[in-house]
Structure 1
Amino acid sequence: MFVVTLKFSANKARASALMEGHNAWIKQGFDDGIFLLTGSLQQSAGGAVLAHNTSRADLEMRLQQDPFVVGGVVSADILEIAPGRTDDRLAFLRA
């Protein structure tokens, strides 16, 4: 399982021009069964993605296709988590 933070860079002003492509990229992540959750980081710092069902290498390649990353609007940081204990509703993350 991965937590990805997408933190705004100095090019944050370009976000609106790339938003349609970024939203299509997010939709594709859900359609592919990789993204479980996306959302905004508070204080308008950027966004976050909860991902699973993928390898780190494949996730890194997917991130390089995000128009926000390509356009230098955000920088991506990946945290890899090996779930040990979960609520029963999240048991699928331990697989």
Structure 2
Amino acid sequence: MFIALLRFTEARSRASQYMEEHKHWVQGGFADGVFLLAGGIEPSQGGAILAHQLSREELETRLAADPFVAEGIVQTEIIEIDPGRADPRLAFLVS
């Protein structure tokens, strides 16, 4: 499982130009079943995605296809988590 951080760069002022494409890209991750959660990093620092059922390499490829990444609007950081324990509501995440 991964947390992908997408932090704004100096180019964040161009985000509105690519917002619809970015939203479509995010929706694709949910449709493919690999994104579990997506949201903003507050206060207005970028976004974060919780992803599973893919390799780090697959996630890197998917992130590179995000228009925000491709246009240099955000910089990515990937944090890998090996879940060992979870609330019963999230038990499906424990490997």
1:88 is displaced (CA, Å) by 1.1
Residue 43 of structure 2: SS of its match in structure 1? helix
1:89 is displaced (CA, Å) by 1.1
| Aligned residues between the structures | 95
- What CA distance in whole angstroms lies between the structure 1 residues aligned with 2:8 and 2:32? 25
- What CA distance in whole angstroms lies between the structure 1 residues aligned with 2:88 and 2:53? 18
1:91 is displaced (CA, Å) by 1.1
What's the TM-score, normalizing by structure 1?
Answer: 0.98
More divergent stretch after superposition (4-13 vs 84-93) = 84-93
- What CA distance in whole angstroms lies between the structure 2 residues aligned with 1:14 and 1:35? 25
Tell me which residue corresponds to 1:78. 78
Runs of 4+ that moved beyond 3 A: none
Residue 14 of structure 2: SS of its match in structure 1? helix
1:43 is displaced (CA, Å) by 1.1
The one-letter code of the counterpart of 2:83 is P
Percent of aligned positions that are identical: 53
- What CA distance in whole angstroms lies between the structure 1 residues aligned with 2:56 and 2:90? 20
1:67 is displaced (CA, Å) by 0.1
Residue 44 of structure 1: SS of its match in structure 2? coil
CA RMSD after TM alignment: 0.6
| Structure 2: gaps spanning 5 or more residues | none
- What CA distance in whole angstroms lies between the structure 1 residues aligned with 2:43 and 2:87? 29
- What CA distance in whole angstroms lies between the structure 2 residues aligned with 1:55 and 1:45? 26
What's the TM-score, normalizing by structure 2?
Answer: 0.98
Any idea what the Cα deviations from partners look like across 1:17-43, whole Å, max 9, x if unmatched? 000110000000000000000000001
| Structure 1: gaps spanning 5 or more residues | none
Tell me which residue corresponds to 2:41. 41
